[in-house]
Chains A and B, each alone.
Chain A
């Protein structure tokens, strides 16, 4: 039996490559937007995003630093704590807020979890009271997702954009595949008159559509994984954009969602375009 998918791919080498690539690109873009939406409203937006830079006294013993770290990490208001060597600041691997002068010792960087009014000051005082801490600075830069979360109408605006763009991708997907099928109309009519089932004729087109959906989803999922790995080294930069990408579970869910949505959209677009076969092979 002839490999119809191979024949369709051979046809693609001659024409239709460009629109199929564009189709893939649009699908990828949509999945990216979908994941961005999900990651923004996944509940890991970074709260209000207030951060504290805690300068430690120079010459602290590692055991003292450990004790402080473990104690602060347990505080309810603290979302994350990072230990940073003074050398990292000197070598400019870590950039401190302008109000913090060059530290003499190592430091902690704290992210607070949705602090209420006056809570930041209270935590600052509590920190300053601990032995081994030289000074505490509040730093108010909020992550991008936290800004979006508190912007009125942002959620609905992004959701509307997502739905609209999704529909556009679906329609474009259908149009591309429909034109591909029609471009092969002579062969399909010949197959129909020769006793080949419509189901068999449609299968290579559906497989091609599913491949597009799967590959777009897979590339995005891998992309998210690489961002996550990169984020382990550059926590601060990632925290300032999409903090949810620091959570392995969320990254996994977003990757799976991209795969599932890619496949679903491709299946819908492909199946919709196959309706044209009813006219070619009644």
Chain B
């Protein structure tokens, strides 16, 4: 089954420069795709198009068999409730603890307090963050911060994780820690993952593609 299908996608900047022209991409359900590309290649733009924050000038984007480009605002919000999103800019919450941040999101999505607490604790456990539950989000180190961003994205059990450079700025050890956590998520939850990065990460992901000059170049 196909989770993401992008066909003939074109997107231009306000100045008319083409970011994509006729882009095609297909991600199967349960796949972990790593999308590589240098800075400015359009990785963030592609992810924003996938979660509907940007509208393409041409082409079609299907996510979980729904045409993102034609969804009404209400339906788009409904779709986003099934996605886990790690944005490029980390979300710095003013909640007092990491656990409170996660339960805040879960309760906003309609879960009862008890269930939200249970699910949040479960997610932290899975990502190896249980010891940080009562720490303030602002006191965390970069690797812990990156893992918390992922926890925030997946705590509600989404069907697809869209992670925009979650390892940016981390040392090699930190990158490995984050990727191992994602690997655990992928295996245990059978989560479809689309992760973007600037550099290749051997040994992780089921497929890697390179985004360059608005085109996907080969599969490694």
Contacts and interface: CB of A to CB of B under 8 A. Distances in A.
B78 A195 contact: yes
A264 interface: no
A85 interface: no
B53 A1 contact: no
Contact of A186 (B77, B93, B107, B156): B93
Nearest to B85: A193
Given A189-B91, A194-B105, A1 B77 contact: no
Given A14-B94, A195-B79, A189 B87 contact: yes
Contact of A194 (B53, B93, B94, B108): B108
A194 B103 CA distance: 13
Interface in B43-57: 51, 53
Contacts of B218: none
B1 interface: no
A209 to B, nearest CB: 20
A257 interface: no
A185 B110 CA distance: 21
A194 B110 contact: no
Interface in B83-123: 83, 85, 87, 91-95, 101, 104-105, 107-110
B81 interface: yes
A2 B94 contact: no
A247 interface: no
A68 interface: no
Contacts of B92: 185-186
B207 interface: no
Contacts of A194: 80-81, 85, 105, 108-109, 156
B104 A195 contact: no
B19 interface: no
B152 interface: yes
B93 A2 contact: no
A2 B77 CA distance: 17
Contacts of B81: 194-195
A197 B110 CA distance: 13
Chain A, interface size category, equals 20 to 34
Contact of B87 (A11, A14, A193, A195): A193
A102 interface: no
A2 B80 CA distance: 18
Interface in A157-200: 183-187, 189-191, 193-197
Given A186-B92, A187-B95, A7 B109 contact: no
Contacts of A196: 77, 108-109
Contacts of A183: 94
Contacts of B153: 193
A191 B108 contact: yes
A13 to B, nearest CB: 11
Nearest to A4: B108
A282 interface: yes
B35 to A, nearest CB: 19
Contacts of B91: 186, 189-190, 193
Contact of A195 (B77, B95, B107, B152): B77
A195 B153 CA distance: 12
Interface in A1-19: 1-2, 4, 7, 11, 14
A194 B83 CA distance: 7
Contact of B110 (A1, A14, A186, A282): A1
A190 B77 contact: no
Contacts of A193: 51, 80, 85, 87, 91, 153
A11 B94 contact: yes
B191 to A, nearest CB: 16
8 contacts: A1-B107, A14-B94, A193-B51, A193-B85, A193-B87, A195-B77, A196-B77, A197-B73
Given A191-B108, A195-B79, 6 more contacts: A7-B104, A11-B94, A194-B80, A194-B85, A195-B83, A197-B77
**8 tightest A-B CB contacts, nearest first:** A195-B80, A2-B107, A195-B81, A195-B77, A193-B85, A186-B93, A186-B92, A186-B91
